[in-house]
Structure 1
Amino acid sequence: MDLTDALTWAAKRKHGVLITIRSDGRPQSSDIVYGIRDGLFEISVTNGRAKTANMRRDPRVVLHLTDPATWSYVSFDARAELSESTKRAGDATSDLMVDYYAAVAGEPHPDLGEYRQAMADEGRLLVRLTPTGAVGQVH
C-alpha cells in the first residue's frame, strides 16, 4: 500500500491500536488516540505503562487502524521516538502536549494551565511514530 495514501486515510481518523514488543518477544496492544503532524503520528503516553517501557527497549511498533463500516484497515510499521516526560507545567514537553491536544481535539484546551499541570502530574510524554511502511485495504 502506498504510504502517502495510507497517511491520507489515517488523517481522517484518530483512534487506533498500538502494538509494541514485550521483552519476551510477544506483542502487547493498547488502544490509543493519535494525531498526525508532518507525516508523523503523535501519541500521548505515561511513564508507568507497559507500552512506554516496550518502546524504550525496542522502538519497532505497529499502529493498526480500522474502519469496520467500510471494511477498511491499515497497519503501519513504524519506529517510535519518545520525548522527555513533562516535569513541570510550562516545560518543553508540556508545550508539545498542548500542541498534541489541539491537534487531536481540533481546538485548544479550555484551561491550558490546568492541562499543563495535569501533564506534569501524570508524567506525560509524547511519542512520535515515523511510519516506514503500510499494508491494508481502503474502501
Structure 2
Amino acid sequence: MKKIPRSDRRAQSIATNTSVDLLGLIEFARGRHQFVLATTRRDGRPQLSLVTGVLTDDGQILISTYPQRAKAANIRRNPAVSVLIMGEFDGAWVQVDGDGTVDDMPGAADGFVEYFQAISGEHSDWDEYRQAMADQGKSLIRVHPTRWGPIATGGFPPELFEDA
C-alpha cells in the first residue's frame, strides 16, 4: 500500500475512534442538538428522521415530536432505536443505541421543560410553555441508552500516512 507523505496531506485527516463512559458521552453531546433518529418500520426496514434533541445530564435522550408521526408509531411498536449525535456534518459523531418510549401530554409536560432548558435555557413562563405543548398535542420521545460509541471522526486510516 502506498503511503501518503505528510507534506502531501493538505486538508486530509486521520480517522479517530474514542471510547467514552457515560459522563464522556454526556460531555460530548453538550451543545449538540442535531440528531438522526433511526426507528424500525413495520416491514423491518429503517426509518431515519432528522430531529432536534438533547442528551440530558442524567443520560436520557429527549426528542420532541407529534403522536401521529412515523417515529412515534414505530417506537410504540418496537422500542429499539439508534440515535446519531452530531454537530457539523464533517465533525465528530457518536451512535447511541437504546430503548425508546413515547410520552404524550399531559404526562410529558415536565420532560418538555427539561428539553427546553437543555436547548434554550429558561422560559419566561413555564405554565404558558406547558400549555403550548398541550395545545399543540406534542409528544416526547425518551431514549434510554444501552450502548454507544465510540466517538468518531471521518478521515483516512492512520497507516496510510508515512509518519503515522
TM-score tier by shorter-chain length is 0.7 to 0.9
* Matched letter for residue 20 of structure 1: T
Match 1:10 to one of 18, 23, 29: 29
Match 2:99 to one of 62, 69, 79: 79
> What is the CA-CA distance between 1:69 and the residue it aligns to?
6.4
Distance 1:42 1:8 in 2: 16
- Compared CA separation, residues 127 and 69, structure 1 to 2 (3 A): closer
Q: Which moved more, 1:61-70 or 1:123-132?
A: 61-70
Which consecutive unaligned segments of at least 5 residues does structure 2 have? Answer: 1-18, 155-164
Distance 1:124 1:96 in 2: 11
* Matched letter for residue 115 of structure 1: Y
**Matched residue, 2:146:** 132
Given the two structures, how large is their TM-score scaled by the length of structure 1?
0.81
1:7-64 CA-to-partner distances (Å, cap 9, x unmatched) read 3212231111111100001111111111222011111121010000000000111101
> What is the CA-CA distance between 1:94 and the residue it aligns to?
2.0
**Matched residue, 2:50:** 31
* Matched letter for residue 36 of structure 2: V
- Compared CA separation, residues 118 and 25, structure 1 to 2 (3 A): same
1:97 correspondence with 2:112: yes
Match 1:116 to one of 130, 134, 137: 130
The answer to which structure has the higher helix fraction is 1
- Compared CA separation, residues 3 and 70, structure 1 to 2 (3 A): farther
The answer to which structure has the higher strand fraction is 1
> What is the CA-CA distance between 1:109 and the residue it aligns to?
2.3
Q: Contact conserved, 2:32 with 2:86, CA < 8 A, in 1? A: no
Q: Contact conserved, 1:82 with 1:126, CA < 8 A, in 2? A: yes
> What is the CA-CA distance between 1:113 and the residue it aligns to?
4.0
Larger Rg: 2
Distance 1:69 1:30 in 2: 15
* Matched letter for residue 138 of structure 2: R
Q: Contact conserved, 2:33 with 2:86, CA < 8 A, in 1? A: no
Q: What percent identity do the matched residue pairs reach?
A: 35
Q: Contact conserved, 1:3 with 1:133, CA < 8 A, in 2? A: no
Q: Contact conserved, 2:33 with 2:87, CA < 8 A, in 1? A: no
